[in-house]
């Protein structure tokens, strides 16, 4: 029985059988287009992934994820060497080359697997072959006995003898992605779905997609190479059906149509007809908004036609990216959700603007002397605001904004703003209000970072908010040979970012937001599931337009993916290195606070178990995962998991609020005095709480809102953050330019047990020597100072103004649970 059949090339069909077979015969298979039989040139087995129960390291090799390839595996301990290098030259001898020394091969060290590897083609590998590895041409350096010497290729690598359930059919006639082919195996049949054929150049369309409006007519182009038929449906200003027209099949898998007349303020949908691959007859018809929609009706319903000039605001042409940093590690990022920031009455923001783009940029007060909104951000002194998703998502109701709450990590229309944050649902008002917010923040020296979600979509297949699957079924996602969606996101699907038209869509989207909305940077949700090539393209394209743009993301995944491990942009890869792509440093986070939601403690509790990881983070992880300091984003809390204050309350039961507050200050004092990019969770500056709830993505306003009364309650804490941010921005010694400078000018110095202390001797700062020390204990500690007179800038939970600085010689007493800073000019 055939489980699945796929068109993988212009003359290649891959068949997945329900049972394993030892051999295949050409005469067992037939291919039909309608009633016409297509000649088969050959039928051959495909090698399955290894199901061998033994570990790859034990047997020395494995079938790898790339079809027809073998990965040779060598663990670190298998060679006797004095230093670990990322690449090792080796030679191989064996049956495969008549026991002569091979040309030099390169084993590459994989951090992900903790071993050396190299991948070769399977075509020359035969059953029973033996091989050995050597580090040089001398037999004295052969792979030592007991560690894989005389490794034998097992029989399942013999394609003649192997059992498999995957078969490749090669046809004599060219196949097309938009035609329905029947594949027969003995008496069973399936229709072949287009798959890898769609990644061929013939189906790559490099130019503009979507709608292009002009007063005398609108041009539409959609990429839907597998569709049987496509129509466009036009609706009037009130979303009433007006007319439809069939689109024409065009180049590289696209469909286009030109509709004369002025269609401004009208709506449209694509009606897409697909073959029913589960039946002999019939079609599956979907009505879908344009994935390239720049505006829509309420709740992602229909795409909106408008003149782009109407979406501009006064003075927009004069607006530009912020110019408040030189390098990415100069940034101090403040993460916030648009609605959370102003939705509470305590924000003092106009009632009709609370929770909106316009409210975010309004100057407000909780009471006299306690600023909120934009004034608060200015007073705090951060360089950039990182906004949780502001592009269209599907889990809220634009028309009833108080009905449902969500952070927004469920994307639908990627190039459309989220109307939940607008004063008007649908149309172009949201575009204008978003630009107004960005412009206002720019005028006040604050950049805007956009949180983007290119790892998954809200719905797939026939789901209400499924866009991609309704246009090109399965193409935009990672799907295995059985049709199951890869799910390393935990959300049911993964975008296949490595596919050409998916990569194009991502780049088009990022470039659109950069050019048209002057976005100053992008944070990538589950960036580890975006392939390295795409991330590097993004970094290059964005920085062509804004050399000072921020690019950073989460360098991890939530489960197993069908994406090749080597291609993922994770913290364990080298994808980010040399491209100024920042990764969240979860190592320093855990070293400082302990675990995310449990009872494990960290450095600020006096737990010294991860001090070495803490020191690595202080040096911007340049001895860990980062090559340069702008690749390390240091943080201790974000929107996910318990807030810092809630975590400290959970793990400091019975402690006075004084000590919990001091631990909170110390945690981000470490972040703000470490090298790398500094990242703060919005509200941490006055001990924001979410009532002990760890995952509040849909928990509503009562839990997620910013309670501005906390700023009054913890005003001294807020002042500490302001002063420390000002100090970091003033002194480049905390933001050294390169890993070489950090290695040269930062060194750890002797300190009392448990106190972490270091000295910076950066010659380009007005302070020629700076000592920073952290005391996590409730007792005072005496720090011995290097020779000379020192000015004390911070101690006892305070950053001192110049007029209050004390002088010290020889030693100084560090206050309990406190940051200490001293300097010499």
Q: Which residues of the chain, if any, have pLDDT below 70?
A: 47-71, 73-107, 109-116, 120-162, 564-566
- The Cα–Cα gap between 474 and 479 comes to 7
Tell me, rounded to whole angstroms, the distance of Cα 23 from its chain centroid.
44
Task: Say how many C-beta atoms besides its own lie within 10 A of residue 157's C-beta.
Answer: 20
- The question of whether 279 is a catalytic residue gets the answer no
**Longest Cα separation, the chain:** 95
Neighbouring residues of 293: CB distance < 8 A, sequence distance ≥ 6: 210, 303, 304, 413, 415, 416
**pLDDT number for residue 200:** 96
- The Cα–Cα gap between 13 and 28 comes to 14
CA dihedral of 796, 800, 806, 808, whole degrees rounded to 10: 60
- The question of whether 554 is a catalytic residue gets the answer yes
Tell me, rounded to whole angstroms, the distance of Cα 692 from its chain centroid.
27
Residue 753 near residue 779, CB atoms below 8 Å:
no
- The Cα–Cα gap between 209 and 293 comes to 10
Residue with tokens 């490099």: 206
For residue 211, what are the β-bridge partners? 220
| Selected catalytic residue, list 344, 474, 554, 685 | 554
3-class state of residue 159 by DSSP:
coil
Neighbouring residues of 410: CB distance < 8 A, sequence distance ≥ 6: 393, 394, 395, 453, 457, 458, 465, 491
- The Cα–Cα gap between 737 and 650 comes to 38
**pLDDT number for residue 489:** 93
Structure tokens at 265: 């303020």
Strands 521-524 and 550-553: parallel
- The Cα–Cα gap between 768 and 115 comes to 43
- Give, in order, the Cα–Cα distances in Å from 733 to each of 360, 768, 770: 33, 9, 8
Structure tokens at 751: 């300190």
Which helix (H) or strand (E) element contains residue 100? none
**pLDDT number for residue 559:** 79
- The Cα–Cα gap between 212 and 4 comes to 39
- Give, in order, the Cα–Cα distances in Å from 761 to each of 23, 253, 352, 766, 767: 71, 60, 52, 11, 8
Phi-psi region of 526 (alpha: psi -120 to 50; beta: other; left: phi over 0): left
Which helix (H) or strand (E) element contains residue 370? strand 370-372
| Selected catalytic residue, list 330, 418, 481, 525 | 525
């Amino acid at each position: 029985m055939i489980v699945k059949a796929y068109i993988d090339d212009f003359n290649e069909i891959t068949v997945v059988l329900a049972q394993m077979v030892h051999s295949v015969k050409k005469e067992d298979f037939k291919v039909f287009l309608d009633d016409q039989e297509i000649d088969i040139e050959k039928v051959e087995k495909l090698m399955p992934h290894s199901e061998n129960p033994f570990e790859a390291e034990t047997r020395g090799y494995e079938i790898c994820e790339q079809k027809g390839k073998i990965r040779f595996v060598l663990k670190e301990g298998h060679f006797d060497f004095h230093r670990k290098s990322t690449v090792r030259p080796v030679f191989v001898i064996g049956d495969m080359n008549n026991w002569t020394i091979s040309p030099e091969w390169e084993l590459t060290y994989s951090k992900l697997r903790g071993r050396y590897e190299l991948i070769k083609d399977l075509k020359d590998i035969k059953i029973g072959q033996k091989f050995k590895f050597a580090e040089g041409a001398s037999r004295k350096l052969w792979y030592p006995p007991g560690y894989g010497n005389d490794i034998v290729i097992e029989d399942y690598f013999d394609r003649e003898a192997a059992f498999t359930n995957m078969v490749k059919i090669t046809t004599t006639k060219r196949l097309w992605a938009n035609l329905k082919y029947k594949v027969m195996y003995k008496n069973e049949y399936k229709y072949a779905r287009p798959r890898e054929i769609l990644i061929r150049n013939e189906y790559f369309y490099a130019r503009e997609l979507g709608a292009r409006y002009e007063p005398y007519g609108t041009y539409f182009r959609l990429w839907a190479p597998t569709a049987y038929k496509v129509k466009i449906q036009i609706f009037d200003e009130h979303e009433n059906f007006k007319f439809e027209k069939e689109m024409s099949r065009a180049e590289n898998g696209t469909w286009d149509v030109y509709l004369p007349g002025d269609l401004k303020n009208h709506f449209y949908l694509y009606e897409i007809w697909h073959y029913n691959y589960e039946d002999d007859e019939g079609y599956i018809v979907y009505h879908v908004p344009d994935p390239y929609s720049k505006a829509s009706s309420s709740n992602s319903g229909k795409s909106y036609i408008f003149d782009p000039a109407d979406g501009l605001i006064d003075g927009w042409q004069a607006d530009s990216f912020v110019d408040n940093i030189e390098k990415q590690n100069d940034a101090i990022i403040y993460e916030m959700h648009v609605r959370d920031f102003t939705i509470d009455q305590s924000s003092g923001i106009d009632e009709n603007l609370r929770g909106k783009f316009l409210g975010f940029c309004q100057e407000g007060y909780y009471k006299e002397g306690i600023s909120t909104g934009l004034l608060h951000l200015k007073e705090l002194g951060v360089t950039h605001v990182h906004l949780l998703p502001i592009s269209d998502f599907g889990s809220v109701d634009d028309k009833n904004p108080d009905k449902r709450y969500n952070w927004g990590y469920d994307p639908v229309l990627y190039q459309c703003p989220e109307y939940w944050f607008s004063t008007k649902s649908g149309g172009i008002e949201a575009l204008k209000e978003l630009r107004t917010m960005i412009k206002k923040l720019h005028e006040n020296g604050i950049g805007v970072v956009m949180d983007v979600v290119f790892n998954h979509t809200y719905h797939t297949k026939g789901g209400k908010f499924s866009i991609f699957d309704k246009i090109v079924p399965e193409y935009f996602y990672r799907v295995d040979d059985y049709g199951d969606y890869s799910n390393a996101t935990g959300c049911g699907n993964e975008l296949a970012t490595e596919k050409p038209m998916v990569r194009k869509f991502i780049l088009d989207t990022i470039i659109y937001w950069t050019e048209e909305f002057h976005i100053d940077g992008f944070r990538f949700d589950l960036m580890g599931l975006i392939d390295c090539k795409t991330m590097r393209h993004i970094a290059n394209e964005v920085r062509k337009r804004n050399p000072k743009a921020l690019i950073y993301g989460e360098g991890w995944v939530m489960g197993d993916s069908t994406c090749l491990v080597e291609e993922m942009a994770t913290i364990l890869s080298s994808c980010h290195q040399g491209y100024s792509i920042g990764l969240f440093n979860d190592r320093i986070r855990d070293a400082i606070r302990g675990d995310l939601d449990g009872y494990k403690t960290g450095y600020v509790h006096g737990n010294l178990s991860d001090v070495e990881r803490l020191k690595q983070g202080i040096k911007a992880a340049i001895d860990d995962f980062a090559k340069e300091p702008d690749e390390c984003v240091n943080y201790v809390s974000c929107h996910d998991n318990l807030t810092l204050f809630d975590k400290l309350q959970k793990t400091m039961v019975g402690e006075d609020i004084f000590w919990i507050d001091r631990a909170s200050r110390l945690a981000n004092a470490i972040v703000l005095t470490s090298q790398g990019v500094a990242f703060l969770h919005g509200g941490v500056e006055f001990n924001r709480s979410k009532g002990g709830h760890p995952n509040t993505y849909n928990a509503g306003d009562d839990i997620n809102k910013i309670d501005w009364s906390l700023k009054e309650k913890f005003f001294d804490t807020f002042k500490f953050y302001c002063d420390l941010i000002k100090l970091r921005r003033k002194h480049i010694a905390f933001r050294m330019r390169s890993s070489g400078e950090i290695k040269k000018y930062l060194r750890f110095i002797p300190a009392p047990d448990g106190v972490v202390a270091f000295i910076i001797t950066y010659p380009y700062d007005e302070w020629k020597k700076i000592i920073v020390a952290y005391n996590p204990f409730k007792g005072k500690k005496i720090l011995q100072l290097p020779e000379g007179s020192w000015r004390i800038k911070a101690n006892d939970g305070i950053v001192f103004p110049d007029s209050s600085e004390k002088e010290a010689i020889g030693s100084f007493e560090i206050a309990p649970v406190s940051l200490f800073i001293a300097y010499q000019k």
